[in-house]
Amino acid sequence: MKVVVFTGGTASNSLVNCFEALSRDVVKTPNGPAGNSVTHIIPVSDNGGSTSEILRCFGGIALGDLRNRALRLFQDEPLRQFLHHRFDKDSTVALQEWESLIRGDHHLWAELLQEGTVSQRLKLYPMFRELFLKFAAKVEQLDSKFDFSAASVGNILLKSMEMQSGIDAALEQFLQFGGVPPNFSIVPCVIISEHMAGERRPEEYPLPTLQLQLVLANGDVITGQSEISHPADLSSNNTSQLHFSKSNDAHPQLAAAVQQLRYVLDDSGSISPIWPRADPAALQAIESADYIIYSIGSLITSLMPSLIVPEIACAIAKNIHAKKVLLQNGTYDRESYGLDSVSYTMLVNDTLRQAALSCSEDAIPSANSWVDHVIRLQDSEIQIPSKAEPWYSTVTIPSSGSGSGSHFDPDILLETLRSL
């Protein structure tokens, strides 16, 4: 079975094994059983946390969500923990950690190389150190000081790799480090033009940064994924996104309904529209998928950045054989407050329909070509309206946990997906 999952970097991590198990179901073709694969299509627009510092200094695309999902797929737990490590929040202490890491005497190295079978990790040691040293050399050439506060070791490594070979090659090698089978892949939803990828001269940094921009019905415009979902507290006079709260209770609701989500390019503060192309690997996976799953996570900033890409919307519509399944969140957040189950689904479907209108296709897909099934939780805050007659089927399943802690049980979800 070939499964495509549209997802952010964190919320769907608990469902990775469910999607993997679904992919192992056998699909018979005239040429015998089809191969199995899971492709995670992930946005590259998150500008919060330590990613914000990498973007401030180097520009380009955000790698944090790609790194997060990649590490969830790793088969090597000590290596996963090594690359999950974050430096101290204190900038001075964090810099000392970084210097210790590139010298090779940070405690992380000893912990990585002393656990279990280390032959493969011993081979990685010189490679990782070289990549860290190359990143250090780039940092030394910057006009501004790089803040290593709360920096992710995995983000630094992946960024160093991306600056050398581009994101697709970097991701492929990153997954190989963790022993991830080749039929499980992580793909950015969009690619950037060649002049923004690969090796750059020092004076060319920072490159323009890919950002999200949200237009509300009242005319308000919010630029930046983190500002949309987790805005900084203006009362503190701190607009940095290096340290922010992900608690839903910490942020007010959006001031009005969502009118449009779009991509922009931030070139040293100059904002201009951009229409990035879909990653070819994403389109290839969609075209051959047996299941296309819109997974849980922040509706506007985790799911929709992939769905507003015209080529992706058209590819989904043209795959008439795939089961297209929307998993609805069980609780409201800043981005979905006030939606019922039908309006939630219509927002996803209409976003894809609108994106498809921009495709240079002869035939415009039918109005409801993007969602066939909705799976929701029994105790979900997002309720089904009493007189709803949607075009899609809805399955309500028991949740694991309760209240704000309720979530999808992977085993129940797997059986539900199989039954569609």
CATH code of the domain in which 28 resides:
3.40.50
Q: Do 35 and 54 belong to one domain?
A: no
Q: Do 82 and 155 belong to one domain?
A: yes
Domain with 182, as residue range(s), is 50-196
Residue 379 lies in a domain: yes
57, 21 contact by CB (below 8 A): no
108, 101 contact by CB (below 8 A): yes
Q: Three-class SS of residue 1?
A: coil
Q: How many domains does the chain have?
A: 2
Q: Do 28 and 65 belong to one domain?
A: no
Query: For the chain (length 420 residues), average pLDDT per consecutive 10?
Result: 93 95 80 80 92 93 96 94 97 98 94 73 91 96 94 98 93 95 95 61 76 95 91 56 49 86 91 93 97 96 96 94 96 90 95 87 72 96 88 93 79 97
Q: Do 25 and 110 belong to one domain?
A: no
Q: Do 191 and 65 belong to one domain?
A: yes
Q: Do 71 and 13 belong to one domain?
A: no
pLDDT at 108: 94
Residue finishing a domain among 169, 196, 223? 196
Taking the C-alpha atoms of residue 116 and residue 3, their distance in angstroms, rounded to an integer, is 33
What is the bridge-based pairing of β-strands 393-397 and 399-400?
unpaired
Q: Do 382 and 407 belong to one domain?
A: yes
Q: Do 18 and 104 belong to one domain?
A: no
Residue finishing a domain among 178, 196, 214? 196
Residue 412 lies in a domain: yes
- The count of other CB atoms within 10 Å of the CB of residue 120 is 12
Residue 258 lies in a domain: no
pLDDT at 65: 95
351, 308 contact by CB (below 8 A): yes
Q: Do 306 and 345 belong to one domain?
A: yes
Q: Do 359 and 308 belong to one domain?
A: yes
Handedness of CA 388, 260, 292, 185 (dihedral sign): negative
Residue 204 lies in a domain: no
Q: Do 134 and 13 belong to one domain?
A: no
Residue 377 lies in a domain: yes
pLDDT at 84: 96
pLDDT at 35: 80
Q: Do 35 and 55 belong to one domain?
A: no
pTM of the model: 0.91
Residue finishing a domain among 196, 217, 236? 196
Residue 109 lies in a domain: yes
Residue 288 lies in a domain: yes
pLDDT at 31: 54
Residue 281 lies in a domain: yes
The 3-state secondary structure of 281-349 reads HHHHHHHCCCEEEECCCCHHHHHHHHHCCHHHHHHHHHCCCCEEEEECCCCCCCCCCCCCHHHHHHHHH
Q: What angle do CA 147, 159, 245 make, to 5 degrees?
A: 50
Contacts of residue 26, Cβ cutoff 8 Å, sequence gap at least 6: 1, 33, 34
Quick check: bond before 206 cis, omega within 30? Answer: yes
